[in-house]
Amino acid sequence: MSTLTPHVALVSESQSVALTDVSAVAAALQKQVTRDFGPVWGINATVDSFDSLESVPVDYWPVILRDDIDEPGAAGYHTDDQGQPFSLVQVDEKWPLTVSHETLEMLVDPFGNRTVAGSPPPQAPSPVSEFERVIYLLEVCDPCESDRLAYSVNGVNVSDFITPHYFDPNGATGAQYSFCGNVKEPHTVLEGGYVSFGNPLDNQWYQIAVENGDVNLRNLGQIKSTRGKSLREIVDRAVRKARKSERYRINPAVSTAMTIATNPRLRETSTGRAKLLREQIKKLK
């Protein structure tokens, strides 16, 4: 029996982002998924752009761009009333990178409940470092999410992501822990990144984050029941509560038009090819 192919829809409800830019990012993400992400994680998927949410077929998982998300917890991953995933992304100058992050995490864990067992993060302080075993929430971009670790596809900055080797019990020569090779050891977190995990003995959840070289341990409390929500949504809510003084994931509304920052030389080659194609089309009889 063949595996059903997931479909992701990119759609802008932002006055600041035009369909042409959404389409360019969708093309870059399709190449990232097909060439880079899919072979590593064993996932085939389509990524397409649409002009409105009303145009998105019902079996697509939407990633929706908004100018203003002024509600705590609105940005990021959610599930609808049928338990299907969707994501909200607030537009800023790094929105293509955020869309890549959300898309890859949605593809590897669409229902937000997938965990992987392993030893505690080596950066964890006591008493967490003394746990025999923890369960990691599978979020493939979080440990290496810094924009400084992004790489380019079609001139669009996309997110690095961990590989399944990230959860190996021990490091091994030649193992690749993130696609770009930024992560050097299993279970580690890079500058600007984080990882969420729970203690299976008491359902207490934690997050390790690295900020300005400092390792911070956040105690997210006990999670005994998700009450119909995905584990990822519950963890995200706990993180927002722990970081409420930082106005976490709440940014000022965007008021000016934004275009994706692509390499000018790449745009030049695309423009040149388009010119040549138009000239050739005119010659067709």
Q: pTM for the whole thing?
A: 0.88
Q: Is residue 280 part of a domain?
A: no
- For 78, the domain range is 7-264
Residue 203 lies in a domain: yes
Answer whether residue 277 is part of any domain. no
- Say yes or no to pLDDT of 218 above 90: yes
Return the minimum-mean-pLDDT range out of 88-97, 183-192, 268-277: 268-277
d(CA 86, CA 8): 9
> How many domains does the structure of the chain reveal?
1
**Residue 122 covered by a domain:** yes
Q: Residues 17-56: pLDDT tens digits?
A: 999 999 999 999 999 999 999 999 999 999 999 999 999 9
In a domain, 227, yes or no: yes
Flag whether 275 is in a domain: no
- Residue 29: inside a domain, yes or no? yes
**Helices assigned H by DSSP within the chain:** 19-31, 38-41, 95-108, 231-242, 264-283
User: Higher-confidence residue: 81 or 31?
Assistant: 31
**Can you give the pLDDT at residue 263?**
63
Distance separating alpha carbons of residues 136 and 127, to the nearest angstrom: 17
Burial 7-38 (b: 16+ CB within 10 A, else e): ebbbbbebebbeeebbbbbbbbbbbbbeebbe
What average pLDDT does the segment 225-235 reach?
82
3-state secondary structure of 176: coil
Q: Is residue 171 part of a domain?
A: yes
